[in-house]
Structure 1
Amino acid sequence: MDRFNIALCGTLLLLLLQSTAASKLFEVLSEKYATENLVISPFSIGSALTLAYMGSGGQTAEELRLALNFKTSDKLRTAMQYENFLRTLKQPAANDGPTLMVANRIFTNHRISLQPSFNHLVGTYFDAQAQPLNFGDKVAAAEQINNWVRQQTAHKIDEMISAEDLDEENTIALILNAIYFKGKWSKSFKASNTIAKDFKVNAHETAPISMMKKTSEFKFGYLNELDATAVELPYASSNINMLVILPNQVNGLRTLEQKLAFVDWSTISSNLHSQQIKLELPKFKATFSTDLAKILQQLGVRHLFSDAADLGAMFSSSLAVKVDKVTHKAFLEVNEEGAEATAATSVHMVAKSAMAYTHVPELIVDHPFVFVIRDERTVFFVGHVVKPE
């Protein structure tokens, strides 16, 4: 059976994968990469898998629909919703507003062609242009693909695939989605206030970091059921923010992430209240790369990777095609000015922060924590930091 690769990329200086589905994916990945810095873009992953869903049928389509948390099997309706969302993303930002760019592309083996109906659907609603390549010339084809990724991610991701990943006989197509985000904090940190400090990697190990400091009004709260504290940092002229969730215990990250699998991010945000706090947040960078194939199978997407895969609605000829890899790469940087990123059961919580304080609360983010870059509808990036770099 021929191979079909899905590649996802993104960059961070972070609708379709809904918040609940994003939480499940993050919980599985956070366990697997518990001792590494982790950053993924659920939006990028969801976008590329949605393109595959548009060309799938039978049980393959049903498994993708459930994993993506789509409430309807009407593909045209889903495509139209995606188009509407892309249109909102492409609206010009305010002068100091964040940059958020999304791009889709399908690279096909020059020996095959896409179904006209599929090509029209993804071209019209996903702005996903198909580009034929000669995979026999591996080096040139890989360079064209990687050059597209570089252009979409401001050169934060230089190599999405290698020449060895391509095979003229077996590689049929690659679906790529890239997302790039760069935003300034609404309330920036002064570089002159940044100090050297120790970060508690665990109860026995510390690492030197640069700690940013600011006293200002933020949405803040104690989350008793999660045994954690959270703060929300807004980006300028935008409804996008970074939610930072710090476990109360130095070694509490794994327990927190297990609980977060059953919590909608918006529920946490709604339990935070604006107030003056003293915040200390480390500067950090995180680079992450993984093949999501086994993870997605663990989450119920199995037919897509098997000989029983049904992707007949995608290609003109009756090819026997299955997905071989789902590669995801992402980058995140957080500093005094803001953040830059790319990629290609409910717990009821009551926030103590509604209480009246006789002092200004402090949140010192000096041990492993979770972060989410999102707006009220979409999780663009999520991850954890176990050792700032």
Structure 2
Amino acid sequence: MVTAPLHGRMACPAGKSCFDPRWTYVSIMELFVIILSLFATVCNGEYVDDFYQRTPLGDSVDIASMKILKESFQDAKDKNVIVSPLGVLTLLSMYSAGAEGENRAEILRLTGSSSYKQLEDNYANLTERFSAMDPSYLVLANKIYVSDQYTLNEKFSDVASRSYKSDVERVNFAEKKKTADRINKWAAEKTKGHISSPVNEGTIDEDAALALFNVIFFQGHWHVLFKAEETEEKDFFVDESTTVKKPMMKLLKPLIYFENKDIEARMVELPYKEKGFRMVIVLPDKKDGLPAVVEKVAQRGILQDVMAANWRDIALEIPKFEIKTNLDLENILSKVGVSRMFTEGASGVVREAPVRVSSAFQEAFVKVDEEGATAGAFTAIFIRPVSGNYRPPPAIPFKVDHPFMFAILHEDIVLFTGTYTH
């Protein structure tokens, strides 16, 4: 986000073995929210034994995330989309510290916050939660670059430092190459070299008063074994009549599974061993059903379904996929009700003048393969006599052979979400 002067789940089922380790690679990079995420886990032979509570904050992040996904999906010409909603919401929260009136109220409504104090407390807690994790596998950092022609408002500076743990550095935005080099160096350091040049001279707004950045870097291992030798080329339906060949990965394991007739989709959860992280795949019942599913989850989110899912034996087939997306966040945020910050001044950001947001965009990247890619629920076990003719139910086929959406969560917080169509 660049601002310019206004005047300018459950335990693994008994008897089932733990998932085997593999790597996953997920990266996000952006100007508004620069993110690189490498999500996965290491299995040490223990059962997954986590229970994740559904919270009001998780619900609000869920709904806001799905709204942002819907507009990103509809706005994109290429319907392969990846978006990092948490980073967007975090920086909106930070910016709102210097905004007032309807400018701030729009952000409160999108984030589902009843007051600014609740908004700040929520995102300060999320910042603390993720930045306090072991830096060997997770790095979260916020950064403010402020023009040498301006001075941050004392209250805004205090909130950015205290609640969002943001560093502040003074730059001369007119020196575009030098400024871009400094930003790129910071991004590379925070992402261990995985993001080395997220901005260039053309990105830099020489009239900017300040720019806000966020970086997340996570590295670990899959909790689910995909054997590369079992991956084979199969048909993937782009639509009802068009297919393309995709390398499909296979897995036969107990997984968290749910069916929802209201949104006409099924869900399966791929856990990471790293505590709390999981990927949810949402597969429409119809081959051309993705637009309708995206529309429905924008109204209700996915968290209630994720939390209601249960363990089943699943015969999973899912394509290896890679997505890179460039998003115009001004257009997307305007469609979800946050537009005034692009046209109206916020007087509490810098001392010298009100400021408005002059540009906001996101570049995101995600890669899922064999080397890469749990939830809260009430669990009940009813015991009945078993007849000698009893046979366990067969594995449920879950063949991801047509357009789908996905989300990666930590406990009940959506970190990013996307769609894959071809």
Asked if the contact 2:143/2:213 (under 8 Å) is kept, the reply is: yes
- Secondary structure of 1:316's counterpart equals coil
* Alignment CA distance shift 1:313-1:135 (3 Å): same
The aligned counterpart of 2:349 is 314
**Percent identity for Structure 1 against Structure 2:** 26
How big is the alpha-carbon RMSD for the aligned residues of Structure 1 and Structure 2?
Answer: 2.4
- Secondary structure of 1:70's counterpart equals coil
Asked if the contact 2:139/2:216 (under 8 Å) is kept, the reply is: yes
* Alignment CA distance shift 1:304-1:331 (3 Å): same
Match of 1:236 among 256, 269, 273: 273
The aligned counterpart of 2:359 is 325
Amino acid at match of 1:334: V
Quote how far apart the aligned CAs of 1:32 are: 1.8
Q: Distance in 2 between matches of 1:122 and 1:201?
A: 45
Amino acid at match of 1:363: F
Quote how far apart the aligned CAs of 1:368 are: 0.8
User: What are the within-5 Å matches in structure 2 for residues 169-248 of structure 1?
Assistant: 170-248=207-285
The aligned counterpart of 1:363 is 398
Asked if the contact 2:38/2:217 (under 8 Å) is kept, the reply is: no
The structure that is strand-richer by fraction is 1
Amino acid at match of 1:146: N
Asked if the contact 2:31/2:363 (under 8 Å) is kept, the reply is: no
The aligned counterpart of 2:123 is 82
Q: Distance in 2 between matches of 1:263 and 1:374?
A: 16
Q: Does 1:9 align with 2:45?
A: no
Q: Distance in 2 between matches of 1:91 and 1:297?
A: 33
Asked if the contact 2:31/2:199 (under 8 Å) is kept, the reply is: no
* Alignment CA distance shift 1:274-1:34 (3 Å): farther
The aligned counterpart of 1:349 is none
* Alignment CA distance shift 1:370-1:221 (3 Å): same
Match of 1:151 among 165, 189, 196: 189
- Secondary structure of 2:34's counterpart equals strand
Quote how far apart the aligned CAs of 1:71 are: 2.1
Q: Distance in 2 between matches of 1:54 and 1:24?
A: 23
Asked if the contact 1:193/1:212 (under 8 Å) is kept, the reply is: yes
Partner deviation per Cα, 1:138-194 (whole Å, 9 max, x = no partner): 1111111122223333444443332123343x2211111122233422122122221
* TM-score, L = length of structure 1: 0.86
Partner deviation per Cα, 1:198-218 (whole Å, 9 max, x = no partner): 221222332222211110000
- Secondary structure of 2:300's counterpart equals coil
Amino acid at match of 1:379: V
Partner deviation per Cα, 1:324-360 (whole Å, 9 max, x = no partner): 1111121111122333xxxxxxxxxxxxxxxx97422
The aligned counterpart of 2:71 is 28
Quote how far apart the aligned CAs of 1:320 are: 3.6
Asked if the contact 1:214/1:278 (under 8 Å) is kept, the reply is: yes
Asked if the contact 2:93/2:123 (under 8 Å) is kept, the reply is: no
The aligned counterpart of 1:72 is 115
**Most deviating of 2-11 and 369-378:** 2-11
Quote how far apart the aligned CAs of 1:282 are: 1.2
Amino acid at match of 2:369: N
Asked if the contact 2:131/2:141 (under 8 Å) is kept, the reply is: no
- Count of aligned positions: 362
Quote how far apart the aligned CAs of 1:271 are: 3.0
Amino acid at match of 1:87: E
Q: Distance in 2 between matches of 1:34 and 1:246?
A: 21
Q: Distance in 1 between matches of 2:114 and 2:411?
A: 19
Quote how far apart the aligned CAs of 1:299 are: 1.8
Quote how far apart the aligned CAs of 1:45 are: 0.5
Give 5+ residue unaligned stretches, structure 1.
340-355
Q: Does 1:250 align with 2:293?
A: no
* Alignment CA distance shift 1:121-1:93 (3 Å): closer
Give 5+ residue unaligned stretches, structure 2.
9-29, 40-56, 374-390
Q: Distance in 2 between matches of 1:288 and 1:123?
A: 30
Q: Distance in 2 between matches of 1:259 and 1:129?
A: 39
The aligned counterpart of 2:87 is 44
Quote how far apart the aligned CAs of 1:40 are: 0.7
Amino acid at match of 1:64: I
Asked if the contact 1:48/1:177 (under 8 Å) is kept, the reply is: yes
- Secondary structure of 1:18's counterpart equals helix
Quote how far apart the aligned CAs of 1:242 are: 0.5
Partner deviation per Cα, 1:12-48 (whole Å, 9 max, x = no partner): 4465861111111111111222643111111110111
